[in-house]
Amino acid sequence: MGSVLKNVLWLSVFLCLSFGFFHLATDNSFWHRDDFGYLDHNLRMTTGKLALFDSEPPLKFQPLVYGISYVLFHRFGFDPRGYFLFNILLHGLNSFLVYLLVRTLLRDAAVAVVSAVLFVFTVGSYGKAIMIMSGLEDLVITSLTLLTMLFYFRNELGGRGKTLSAWYVLALVFFVGSMFTRSTSFSILGAFLAFNYFFRQDTGRRVLNRNFIILLVIAAAALVVKTQVFHYRPPFYTTESPGPLTAAYYAVKNIINYLVRMIFPVHTSHLVTEAGPAVRFIYGFATAIRVLIALMVVSYSFFGFIFGNHTIRFFIAWTYIMAFPFAFFQFPGDWLNIRHLYLVSIGLAMVLAAGAVYCSRLIAHQRWRRLVPFAVPLFFILMARFIVQELDRSYELKAASSAAAEQKQAIARKYPWVVVEDGNLRYSPDVPPDAAGARSP
């Protein structure tokens, strides 16, 4: 079977797994404040496409995401099912890209498949980015990041690092595209730097090679353009800065907290208070469990860097690099948002997959016992399924809440061609969308 046909089959598998795991979200409605923010912004774009480049808080400079959102809005309007279905399919595509990325770096099909399966079941991120409309921004930046890295890695490993090769040009295109989404360009560069270091023997190239320098210069130039032309400001702190030492302490603490939350996602919320006695019993030991997991994470990271192969080292570095912006730049306004773990969780998925597959191979002569190591990934998948079901139930209640109803009414008051009927947003048949501009809020 040809490699192209195999990849098409794997893509189909991951799309089906994604839909099967998250189809329960397709009957949900809008509830998150960011969802209504996107609807508001899409309606504003109907009166002027320059809104594509809006970046004043709470908006971010991400015209590519806003453009995709507007295309979806033009097709689906106020029907949430289309947005959720798009998120589900994009998540399936991202899972396929995880498979390709791990296979490119590790050259191990089994680890690549298990990694992608863990990711498609959202082990480590637990589904929130897929189950809300505004999660589109997390999915898009992940797609662009994975595509950029996949082509960059293939160029370095198989293309001898040629600057004018098709692989590098594609990496460059998607890297530039990532600059028109939420700012993670320097995280991508950090991952490239880690790759250049850990795989320097495979590539035979310097860590600071020409291809990396070109991307660094482009990222720096793009940052200047965004700040000077589009008045973009990185969201360092929403309140007074605590000072460099305290900020560094917060960053380190929040990185550890994010990594702990990937493994132990139980935290204070109504999901815990309304859950069964088993969950509440476990949560009674939450502090001790978090401390233990934090020590395990630090220990694994340390010994993984010392004794792990270069691929394991790279994905450990990936996890910390990808978590860093969310642990520092967003603090404290968006502290420990589980949505931010979507991209970060790829590192956890790969580490769990590699551990299970390699341990199984060590006892391959044992007929049934060789399957025991896969109990760990299975446990995380079952936990992810439980959390996704609980989130779905919670989101249905929030969509029917008075707070969601008030946000719908606020949009209807602002745009004369929008009304609320039977609790849902609709276009008014008496006022066409281009008849008047938005009213002042």
pLDDT confidence tier of residue 263, bands split at 50, 70 and 90: confident
* Residue 394 or 14, more confident: 14
pLDDT of residue 267: 62
Q: By percentage, how much of the chain surpasses pLDDT 90?
A: 46
Q: Tell if the pTM clears 0.85, that is, is over it.
A: yes
pLDDT of residue 101: 95
Task: Flag whether 240 is in a domain.
Answer: yes
Mention every residue, 6+ apart, whose C-beta is less than 8 A from residue 216.
Answer: 189
pLDDT of residue 428: 78
Please check the confidence at residue 348 and state whether its pLDDT lies above 60. yes
Task: Flag whether 441 is in a domain.
Answer: no
pLDDT of residue 441: 43
Q: Which domain holds residue 137?
A: 3-30+79-400
Mention every residue, 6+ apart, whose C-beta is less than 8 A from residue 349.
Answer: 98, 115, 116, 118, 119, 123, 124
Could you give the number of structural domains in the chain? 1
Q: What is the pLDDT of residues 148-176, one digit of tens each?
A: 999 999 999 987 888 889 999 999 999 99
Task: Flag whether 423 is in a domain.
Answer: no
- Give the residue from 336, 316, 349, 342 showing the smallest Cα distance to 182: 342
Task: Flag whether 409 is in a domain.
Answer: no
- Please report the DSSP string for 21-41 in residue order: HHGGGGG----SHHHHHHHHH
- Give the residue from 250, 151, 225, 148 showing the smallest Cα distance to 190: 148
**Mean pLDDT within 293-308:** 85
Residue type, 295: L
Task: Flag whether 35 is in a domain.
Answer: no
**Mean pLDDT within 203-228:** 88
Please check the confidence at residue 9 and state whether its pLDDT lies above 50. yes
Please check the confidence at residue 438 and state whether its pLDDT lies above 60. no
What average pLDDT does the structure give for the chain? Answer: 85
Cα 355 to the center of its chain, rounded Å: 23
Task: Flag whether 177 is in a domain.
Answer: yes
Report the alpha-carbon distance of residue 157 to residue 20 in Å, rounded.
35
Report the alpha-carbon distance of residue 294 to residue 256 in Å, rounded.
7
Task: Flag whether 283 is in a domain.
Answer: yes
pLDDT of residue 434: 55
pLDDT of residue 332: 45
Please check the confidence at residue 230 and state whether its pLDDT lies above 70. yes
* Residue 199 or 275, more confident: 199
List the single range of 190-199, 212-221, 281-290, 410-419 with lowest mean pLDDT: 281-290
Task: Flag whether 407 is in a domain.
Answer: no
Cα 431 to the center of its chain, rounded Å: 38
